[in-house]
């Protein structure tokens, strides 16, 4: 039995571990099929959608360029309007001057503006004709200028409206693009995370399934179970014999139950026989008192009773039952006591029945009482209300004469109030008309305020753009970002040219105040360090400054090439070797050869022979009486 229990416990542990592994495998499989695999498979479609967004971004860049062109066109129109306004003002002033001259001419004794001599009639007539012609021409030009101004202003309004619509649509598309891009980035990140998780979970799922198939789990328990099976077999354990023993034990239990039933039945039969014997004894005693001839029989029966010579089988049966009763612990006195107590409690049963009936009738009686109370309360309320109404009617009857006079006065007052009401209605109509006009004006004001706010915002944007594209804006940021790389490239080449003796440093410093603003400009300061210390550029010799200039220019060329994305094809170096000593010329030649991979061609112009020989390909230029000739060496 102990072996069987141990085997059952081990088998239960193995089955539980198998169920856990299966549940884990099922959970991973569900996660893979419902979440990980679908999300991972969406990565391709999400990447395609990202490419579409990239195309949309390129379209927006094109639209932005178109908006910039439209803005430039609008600026041209604005400038044209200003120019036309200035021309119009000049023409008006010119017409005023012409009119003033004409008025002076009409006053008589006119003076020639050139020779300062008095004009005759012919001269005045000639000038008058010229002034009239000039005035008509100025008026014509002014009229044409005004018409052109109106036309240009209409064109400006159309361009402004179109530009506002284009920029509004551009902003909406930009916001939508950014929103979609943000959402897509999150989904792509989730898809990549799902792909990574899928790569982790799939081997784990395969491992679980392989373990279940090969039963590669609970090794200790399985080994212990095998040992128990071996031990069971060594004990010649027979499961069939075990089942037979269990069946026999069950049969014996059933036999015991049947025996108990038979004992109970015997007790009942003994009770019935005892009752019959008592009845027979009673009949015998009655017969003894009433029948003389029966005395002998009675004596004989009494003798039998005294000698217990009757119902031998029953007596044997009774003895058996008494033995059983004795085993059960039956007490006759306790039985009699219980019977007496039951007799005394009989009257309480009747009282209990009466109390139960009363309890059952109590809810209905209480309901009737509650209904009667409610009805009585309602009748009392109605009586009070009727009495109150009666008192009010009696009071009203007493006050009826005075009420009639008050009614007449009220009618008179009502007529006056109706007249006043009509006046007020007329006034309300006027005020409503004025209010409607105020609402319209308010709408116009709000529109103007909105336009003003838009213009202020636009002015702010333009101010920011002025700062951003000014000297201290984006240009300064680009320069500041490029300075470290420019300095590093220049120092790398300068170190080769000077045998690591010289280094340069580029630093942005505050300069002069920008005209019209409180901002300070930025200036680029160049300082050079050598074995003597850090000095200014102007303190170095010609050869040293050439090396510094050479290093800076090459570094700047590299920077421009990186910024443009295209390499510089040709580098020209014109002279400069004459200012160098032999070592400097050698260093300079080595520096040129070190940067030859950065350019397709490097053309060096020099008159120094040993410098020429440092380069494999040369173009020799020879000056003759007939002109210059060249030869490739």
- Of 590, 594, 622, 589, the C-alpha closest to 604 is 589
CB 28 within 8 A of CB 204: yes
Task: Collect contacts of 524-530 with beta carbons under 8 A, ≥24 apart.
Answer: 524/479, 524/483, 528/502, 528/503, 528/504, 529/502, 529/503, 529/504, 529/505, 530/498, 530/501, 530/502
Domain 469-632 fold is Rossmann fold (3.40.50)
**Res 534: pLDDT:** 87
* Those residues with Cβ within 8 angstroms of residue 502's Cβ, 6 or more apart along the chain or in another chain: 494, 495, 528, 529, 530, 544, 547, 548
CB 537 within 8 A of CB 528: yes
| Per-residue DSSP letter, 36 | I
350-400 pLDDT tens trace = 666 666 766 677 777 666 667 666 767 777 777 777 777 777 777 766 766
> Domain limits of the chain?
2-220, 254-333, 418-467, 469-632
DSSP code per residue over 45-92: HHHHHHHHHHHHHHHHHHHHHHHHHHHHHHHHHHHHHHHHHHHHHHHH
Place of tokens 């029989």: 297
CB 267 within 8 A of CB 324: yes
DSSP 3-state of 144: helix
Same fold, 2-220 and 469-632: no
Report the distance separating Cα 325 and Cα 306, nearest Å.
24
pLDDT surpasses 80 at 119: no
Q: What is the mean pLDDT of the chain?
A: 76
- Sign of the Cα torsion 610, 611, 617, 620 reads negative
449-465 pLDDT tens trace = 888 888 888 887 877 77
184-208 pLDDT tens trace = 888 888 888 888 888 888 888 888 8
pTM over 0.85: no
Secondary structure in 3-state letters for 471-534? CCCHHHHHHHHHHHHHHHHHHHHHHHHHCCCCEEEEEEEEEEECCCCCCEEEEEEEEEEECCEE
Secondary structure in 3-state letters for 422-466? HHHHHHHHHHHHHHHHHHHHHHHHHHHHHHHHHHHHHHHHHHHHH
Give the confidence band of 332 by pLDDT, cuts at 50, 70, 90. low
Give the confidence band of 175 by pLDDT, cuts at 50, 70, 90. confident
Secondary structure in 3-state letters for 399-411? CHHHHHHHHHHHH
Report the distance separating Cα 11 and Cα 430, nearest Å.
100
CB 605 within 8 A of CB 577: no
- Of 601, 593, 616, the C-alpha closest to 568 is 601
Give the confidence band of 181 by pLDDT, cuts at 50, 70, 90. confident
**Res 453: pLDDT:** 84
Task: Collect contacts of 480-483 with beta carbons under 8 A, ≥24 apart.
Answer: 480/508, 482/559, 482/563, 483/507, 483/508, 483/524
Sheet with strand 533-536: strands edge to edge? 503-513, 520-530, 533-536
CB 63 within 8 A of CB 166: yes
474-511 pLDDT tens trace = 666 777 778 888 889 889 888 887 888 889 998 877 76
Place of tokens 């306790």: 334
pLDDT surpasses 80 at 253: no
Report the distance separating Cα 108 and Cα 367, nearest Å.
131
CB 477 within 8 A of CB 565: no
**Res 279: pLDDT:** 67
Question: Yes or no: is domain 2-220 CATH 1.10.287.510?
Answer: yes
- Least confident segment among 220-224, 286-290, 338-342, 431-435: 286-290
Give the confidence band of 173 by pLDDT, cuts at 50, 70, 90. confident
């Amino acid at each position: 039995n102990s072996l069987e229990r141990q085997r059952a416990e081990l088998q239960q542990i193995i089955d539980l571990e198998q169920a856990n592994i299966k549940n884990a495998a099922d959970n991973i499989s569900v996660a893979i099929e419902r979440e990980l695999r679908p999300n991972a498979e969406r990565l391709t479609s999400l990447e395609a959608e990202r490419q579409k967004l990239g195309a949309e971004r390129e379209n927006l860049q094109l639209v932005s360029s178109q908006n910039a062109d439209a803005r430039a066109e609008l600026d041209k129109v604005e400038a044209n309007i200003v120019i036309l306004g200035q021309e119009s003002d000049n023409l008006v002033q010119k017409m005023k001057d012409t009119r003033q001259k004409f008025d002076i001419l009409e006053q008589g004794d006119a003076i020639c503006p050139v020779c300062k001599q008095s004009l005759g009639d012919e001269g005045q007539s000639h000038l008058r004709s010229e002034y009239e012609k000039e005035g008509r021409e100025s008026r014509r030009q002014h009229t044409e200028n005004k018409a052109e101004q109106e036309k240009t202003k209409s064109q400006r309004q159309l361009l402004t409206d179109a530009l506002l619509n284009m920029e509004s649509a551009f902003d909406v598309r930009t916001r939508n693009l950014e929103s979609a891009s943000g959402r897509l980035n999150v989904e792509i990140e989730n898809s990549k995370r799902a792909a990574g998780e899928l790569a982790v979970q799939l081997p784990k799922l395969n491992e679980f399934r392989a373990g279940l198939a090969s039963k590669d789990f609970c090794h200790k328990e399985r080994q212990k179970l095998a040992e128990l099976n071996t031990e069971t077999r060594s004990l010649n354990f027979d499961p069939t014999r075990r089942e037979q023993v269990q069946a026999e034990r069950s049969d014996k239990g059933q036999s015991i139950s049947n025996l108990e039933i038979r004992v109970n039945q015997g007790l009942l039969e003994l009770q019935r026989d005892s009752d019959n014997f008592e009845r027979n004894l009673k009949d015998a005693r009655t017969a003894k008192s009433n029948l003389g001839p029966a005395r002998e029989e009675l004596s004989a029966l009494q003798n039998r009773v005294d000698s217990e010579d009757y119902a031998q089988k029953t007596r044997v049966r009774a003895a058996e039952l008494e033995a059983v009763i004795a085993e059960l612990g039956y007490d006759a006195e306790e039985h009699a006591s219980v019977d007496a107590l039951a007799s005394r409690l009989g009257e309480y049963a009747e009282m209990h029945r009466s109390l139960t009936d009363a309890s059952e009738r109590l809810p209905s009686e209480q309901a009737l009482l509650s209904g009667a109370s409610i009805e009585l309360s309602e009748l009392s309320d109605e009586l009070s209300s009727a009495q109150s109404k009666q008192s009010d009617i009696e009071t009203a009857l007493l006050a009826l004469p005075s009420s009639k006079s008050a009614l007449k006065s009220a009618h008179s007052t009502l007529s006056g109030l109706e007249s006043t009401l009509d006046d007020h209605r007329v006034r309300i109509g006027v005020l409503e008309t004025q209010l409607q006009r105020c609402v319209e004006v308010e709408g116009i004001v709000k529109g103007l305020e909105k336009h003003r706010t838009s213009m202020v915002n636009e002015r702010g944007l333009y101010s920011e753009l002025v700062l951003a594209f000014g000297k201290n804006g984006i240009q300064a940021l680009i320069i500041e970002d490029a300075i470290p790389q420019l300095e590093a490239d220049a120092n790398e080449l300068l170190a080769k040219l000077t045998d690591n003796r010289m280094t340069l440093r580029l630093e942005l410093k505050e300069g002069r105040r920008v005209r019209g603003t409180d901002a300070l400009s930025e200036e680029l300061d160049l300082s050079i360090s050598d074995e003597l210390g850090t000095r200014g550029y102007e303190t170095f010799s010609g050869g040293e400054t050439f090396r510094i200039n050479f290093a800076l220019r090459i570094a700047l060329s590299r920077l421009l090439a990186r910024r443009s994305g295209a390499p510089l094809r040709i580098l020209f170096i014109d002279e400069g070797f004459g200012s160098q000593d032999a070592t400097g010329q050698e260093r300079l030649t080595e520096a040129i050869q070190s940067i030859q991979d950065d350019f397709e061609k490097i053309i060096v112009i020099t008159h120094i022979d040993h410098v020429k020989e440092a380069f494999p390909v040369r173009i020799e230029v020879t000056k003759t009486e007939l002109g210059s000739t060249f030869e490739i060496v």
